[in-house]
Amino acid sequence: MTDLSFSVERRPDPASDERRAQIHANPGFGVHFTDHMVTATWTKDGGWRDGKVVPYGPIQVMPSAAVLHYAQEIFEGMKAYRHEDGSVWTFRPEANAARMARSARRLTLPEISEADFIGSLRALVEVDEAWVPPADGSEASLYLRPFMYASEAFLGVRPANEVTYSVIASPAGPYFAGGLKPVKLWISQDYARAGAGGTGAAKCGGNYASSLAGQLEGIENGCDQAVFLDSASQEYIEELGGMNLFFLTRDNELITPELSGSILEGITRSSILELAKDLDLTPVERKVPIQEWKDGTASGDIVEIFACGTAAVITPVGELRWAGGSAPAVGGPEGGEVTRAIRQTLLDIQYGRAEDSRGWLTRL
């Protein structure tokens, strides 16, 4: 169902070709933004309206806007990939649309239909197409960040009656500057990211705010990211602050923590579970005790570990540290062979270098 159409107000002073090329040469992650953004407004009485593509720039909200006080906010993350023939595609956007609808229900925000969600991405990419990095064999893409927040100026605690939806876009290189160098992880014991009945399965800002103290503790202990455990027993691995985790055993089981209600259901995660079968691996979703990782054995020796997500793609995981101990890295200095094979398979589909037999790509 489509509620929105998007008018276009072009920026009079877009970035020059030289400036864009400069950014594309070294995009980093999340630091440069395209010339335009999408906005749309929802009201309880009127539904969705005012779809627009406008120049990227500051947004105005009242200091009393509910989002600034009660964090009624959700977001999504996806990428636009340029193929060799110049066309621009995205990966499983209907899954992001469905997840945004689930997040919206959990945060009592209005749902945006799949058609409007994909329409908003198309509207932005059509205007800012030149910002999608060239197909040069690198892993550059245009990261798309749809988000929705309670813009109503009201301090009572209840679901907002006015909500703003927006999409911004940012040229993206690797999330981790070290490329395939394995990241070191820290077990966050003092800080949980989410708990039973909470918002862990929704993609809402609050989950990321609550992950920062554990993340900082990890950095202070020489690690790159924190691993969060289930908050009740602290026995089972959940995920990282912005990525899911996989473990490969010597007998080719590819294990990932089962969806507990407090883990984000990653689209990369579910794609890997499907691709595993093509690579003669046995995908397994189950509870994974942290003790198995500490001991290096999970129904067989753990031989490779990696994290995955849209921003991080597939990133090898190295050493695990916790207060008072550590477990050595497995899989070698550039990630294990299977980690690299899965990564390549996924990237080849996304960049149009391999057949998209599952119909995962949508042209923007």
Gap between the Cα atoms of 179 and 351, Å rounded: 18
Determine if 311 is a binding residue for ligand COI (CB under 6 A). Answer: yes
Please answer whether residues 313 and 268 qualify as being in contact, where contact means their C-beta atoms are separated by less than 8 angstroms: yes
Q: What is the CA radius of gyration of the chain?
A: 21
Alpha-helix residue ranges (DSSP H) falling in 221-354: 267-278, 290-295, 337-350
Residue 103 interacting entry, from ligand PLP, ligand COI, none, C-beta within 5 to 8 Å by type: none
User: Is residue 173 part of the contact set for ligand COI (CB under 6 A)?
Assistant: no
Residue 242 within binding range of ligand PLP, rule CB under 6 A: yes
Nearer to ligand COI, 172 or 237 (CB): 172
Q: CA-CA distances (angstroms) from residue 64 to 39, 152, 161, 164? A: 20, 8, 14, 15
Q: Tell me the β-bridge partners of 149.
A: 73, 164
Interface with ligand PLP, residue 267, by CB under 6 A: yes
CA distances (Å), origin 204, targets 67, 148, 163, 209, 297: 11, 9, 15, 9, 34
Residue 336 binding result from ligand PLP, ligand COI, none, given CB thresholds of 5 to 8 Å by partner type: none
Q: Whose CB is nearest to ligand COI?
A: 77
Nearer to ligand COI, 6 or 176 (CB): 176
Q: Cα dihedral sign for 7, 13, 16, 19?
A: negative
Q: How far is the CB of 203 from ligand PLP (least distance, A)?
A: 6
Number of residues that bind ligand PLP (CB under 6 A): 12
- The reply on whether position 309 binds ligand PLP by CB under 6 A is yes
d(CA 225, CA 45) in angstroms, rounded, equals: 43
Q: How far is the CB of 112 from ligand COI (least distance, A)?
A: 17
Compute the least distance from the CB of residue 143 to ligand COI, in Å.
7
Using the contact rule CB under 6 A, the part of the chain among 91-99, 244-252, 286-294, 309-317 near ligand COI is 309-317
| Residue ranges that bind ligand PLP, judged by CB under 6 A | 77, 239, 242-244, 264, 266-269, 309-310
| Residue ranges that bind ligand COI, judged by CB under 6 A | 77, 242, 309-311
